[in-house]
Structure 1
Amino acid sequence: MSRRGNVEDVRTIACVGAGTIGGGWAAYFLARGYTVKVWDPSPEAGERLTRLIDNAWPALRELDLLDGADKDAWTVHTDLAEAVEGVDFVQESAPEDLELKRRLFADLDSVCAPDVVIASSTSGYSMTEMATEVTGGDRFVVGHPFNPPYLIPLVEVVGGEKTAPEAVTWAADFYTFIGKSVIRMDREVPGFIANRLQEALWREALHMIDNGEATVDQIDRSITDGPGLRWPFHGPMLTFHLAGGEGGMAHMLDHFGPSLKSPWTRLTAPELTEQLRNATVDGCQTASGERSHRDLVLERDAGIVALRKLTQSLTTKAPAQSDSVA
């Protein structure tokens, strides 16, 4: 394997794919002072990316914008080799199509400099199953963000069977250097960590809608006005630990363990019937009211900015703790 450069020396980044995730990454990289080269075959990619960056910039200005960051320091390319020429890092965010990613990774492997780490934003595929047609599989890693990646700090990093540990370390160090909260996973797990937990809640919500047990609005408010207000500070596990009182998690499990057998949740996915689909879509439209997509994006971003500012002010007063590894 070629020697990687220092993460501090990265200057230019290629974003492969300019959809919601790829464009969000581009906005974040720009805010952190990088030059961004975007590859996307769509003729509308430039206009779409301009709108996304314009919408993201107010939030980035509040939270993650470096002095001198230039929101116009990006170019769009339809030629992949041209897009990755001279870059120091590649973030792939193509559609979740396994065969497409396999072909794209093979193409990236052939045109990228051998010392460049290539990270994928995939939300579910493992690197082992995606990197089946590459020669330099040692530098391919998963760098799974959460939407919107320009605002949510989490990135889950994990390699595949062919990935060199050194490449995983480099990617984790780079994401940390640019201000992300990195979970370096010890092994590949379908859906990673955050998506598996989110998916469990999502499936139960669909079951409740399907059975007439709850509406979209009731489900959303049960989280935003309930446990969701606690999770930014301690997460679900430490929240349950605190719920155990002075006995902590041990008391919680000893006291409430038998309830795990109660029918409080269903972990198998319901059939996505037309009725269930329509009920979910209609519920979301009702909840949106007169607000446009842009209104909802700005409303969401302002809320996350405010909450993150609050949590940051609290963590600066707390004693330093060692990083945990998932």
Structure 2
Amino acid sequence: MITHIAVLGAGTMGFSIAKLFAEHHYSVALYEPFSLQAARERISQEALSIHLVSELEEAVSNADLVIECAPETMEIKQPLYRQLTTLLKQEAIVASNTSTFSLQQLADGLPYADRIVIAHFFNPAHLIPLVELVGLANTRPGILEVLAELLRQMGKAPVVLSKDIPGFIANRLQAALLREANFLLENGIAGAEEIDSVVSNGLGLRWALRGPFQIADLGGLDIWSKVTGHLFPALNNGTEPPASMINHIARGELGVKSGGGYYTYSQQEHANGQMMKELQQLLAYMKHKEENDNGI
């Protein structure tokens, strides 16, 4: 039974995941060895029942589930996993929130490799329903099912992948769309605002309710076979990061966190707050529609 949660890292994703479990009344220890004061202030501001610690052993010694949210470099993750070897409870599950590394890379050589899985949450983790779960052939039976049920009880929509693959499902789909969006931008087809509008006012609205296979079924597979046959040869198939993105990075334009990227942002908190508000409104609408569709 999972009652005690340890979240390793109080960055954007780590704090949001800790917030999710705390709001559902789990015992949560949040491990942050560096930015303790900033994490303490956020916990206080949101009045969350989260135990903030700077010592790894204190965070994980009693944990049934450890969720790793360390920065996306193996130079940080691997030593952290090695430290956990002597600190974990015998039955504790370790889940990485990585969006970059395969589970095989993370689990390689660890004595608890049969108890480490991937639980890929999406920002903001306390709002977005999707969580991708990944195991390996030697993953202990039942672990993924236990995690999936835990997540469903918190209103999440877990998806269990049948195979471990870089980027999993969502990031592969996002990357494919972003590659083509940058191709259209760089070739002068339209500006960033126009391309974003096509997604947010068209594709995104449909995708919020139906996935690509359902959309294809609704449109007719005979029609979509012709569309894809015509378009696939013309789509961008580059294997390098988009040039427009690299140019922004070279100028120090990293997006909201730096005040500018494809767009200019007057204030980081304002931009993040607006996104949260819009997400909450969208999720409320989707829930209302689902209840009406089901006759509730």
After TM superposition, the score normalised by the length of structure 1 is 0.80
Contact preservation (8 Å) 1:102, 1:133: no
Which of 237, 240, 243 pairs up with 1:269?
240
1:66: which partner in 2? none
Query: Secondary structure of the equivalent of 2:158?
Result: strand
- 1:92–1:289: structure 2 CA closer, same or farther, 3 Å change rule? same
1:270, distance to aligned residue in structure 2 (A):
4.4
Does residue 18 in structure 1 map to residue 7 in structure 2?
no
Does residue 108 in structure 1 map to residue 84 in structure 2?
yes
Q: Which runs of 5+ in 1 are unaligned?
A: 58-70, 321-326
1:46, distance to aligned residue in structure 2 (A):
3.8
Distance in 1 between residues matched to 2:40 and 2:269, nearest whole Å? 14
- 1:38–1:73: structure 2 CA closer, same or farther, 3 Å change rule? same
What percentage of aligned pairs have identical amino acids? 30
Distance in 2 between residues matched to 1:177 and 1:201, nearest whole Å? 32
Query: Secondary structure of the equivalent of 2:208?
Result: helix
1:31: which partner in 2? 23
Query: Secondary structure of the equivalent of 1:200?
Result: helix
- 1:297–1:141: structure 2 CA closer, same or farther, 3 Å change rule? same
Distance in 2 between residues matched to 1:27 and 1:50, nearest whole Å? 14
1:87: which partner in 2? 63
What is the CA RMSD across the aligned residues, in angstroms? 2.6
- 1:283–1:216: structure 2 CA closer, same or farther, 3 Å change rule? farther
CA deviation map 1:74-93 (0-9, x unaligned) = 12222111111222211111
Contact preservation (8 Å) 1:216, 1:283: no
Which of 54, 61, 78 pairs up with 2:54?
78
Instruction: Decide which moves more: 299-308 or 262-271.
Output: 262-271
Distance in 2 between residues matched to 1:167 and 1:211, nearest whole Å? 47
- 1:41–1:302: structure 2 CA closer, same or farther, 3 Å change rule? same
- 1:82–1:279: structure 2 CA closer, same or farther, 3 Å change rule? closer
Distance in 1 between residues matched to 2:110 and 2:171, nearest whole Å? 26
Distance in 1 between residues matched to 2:251 and 2:194, nearest whole Å? 13
Q: Partner letter of residue 247 of structure 2? A: Q
Which of 144, 167, 188 pairs up with 1:168?
144
Contact preservation (8 Å) 2:43, 2:50: no
Q: Which runs of 5+ in 2 are unaligned?
A: none
Contact preservation (8 Å) 1:103, 1:133: no
1:210, distance to aligned residue in structure 2 (A):
3.2
Q: Partner letter of residue 146 of structure 2? A: W
Does residue 51 in structure 1 map to residue 42 in structure 2?
yes
1:316, distance to aligned residue in structure 2 (A):
1.9
CA deviation map 1:14-42 (0-9, x unaligned) = 11111111011011111111221111210
Distance in 2 between residues matched to 1:282 and 1:103, nearest whole Å? 28
Distance in 1 between residues matched to 2:90 and 2:114, nearest whole Å? 10
1:324: which partner in 2? none
2:284: which partner in 1? 309
Q: Partner letter of residue 259 of structure 1? A: H
Higher relative contact order, chain-length normalized (CA < 8 Å, sep 6+) = 1
Provide the aligned length of Structure 1 versus Structure 2: 291
CA deviation map 1:67-115 (0-9, x unaligned) = xxxx431122221111112222111111111242222122223201011
Which of 221, 224, 238 pairs up with 2:214?
238
Instruction: Decide which moves more: 193-202 or 100-109.
Output: 100-109
2:196: which partner in 1? 220
1:267, distance to aligned residue in structure 2 (A):
4.8
1:318, distance to aligned residue in structure 2 (A):
3.1
1:280, distance to aligned residue in structure 2 (A):
10
Does residue 132 in structure 1 map to residue 105 in structure 2?
no
